[in-house]
Amino acid sequence: MKCFKLPAGRILAIIQDDITRVALDAIVNPTNTLMIMSGGIARAIKRVRGEEIEKEAMRYAPIPIGEAIVTSAGKTPSKYVIHAPTVEKPGS
């Protein structure tokens, strides 16, 4: 684990682990603008921790690149999932 002190007394901790098994305030899902969790990290989250995360995210779609939404974390031990589009469509 590597920690960095941030302004206002905050700490950023970088951990290398399975994102679906770590208890955090939030995990980040780099996804597509349609919120279809079909590949990479998104697919792993959906496969391991439930389709309800994808269904909840898709209610907000489409989300432009540069914006993000927050959903519940389904069956993950975290509180939230931050969905941040990095591509327009699945497989882009």
Question: Tens digit of pLDDT for each residue in 60-76?
Answer: 999 999 999 999 998 88
pLDDT of residue 14: 87
Look at residues 60, 25, 22, 59 and name the one whose alpha carbon lies nearest to residue 41.
22
Catalogue all structural domains in the chain, each as residue range(s) with its CATH number. Answer: 18-87 (3.40.220.10)
Residues in the chain: 92
**CA distance linking residue 10 with residue 20, whole number of Å:** 24
Predicted TM-score (pTM) of this structure: 0.83
92 pLDDT higher than 60: no
26-71 residue pLDDT tens: 999 999 999 999 988 899 999 888 789 999 999 999 999 999 999 9
**CA distance linking residue 64 with residue 84, whole number of Å:** 9
pLDDT of residue 2: 92
Confidence at 15, pLDDT banded by 50, 70, 90: confident
**CA distance linking residue 29 with residue 40, whole number of Å:** 9
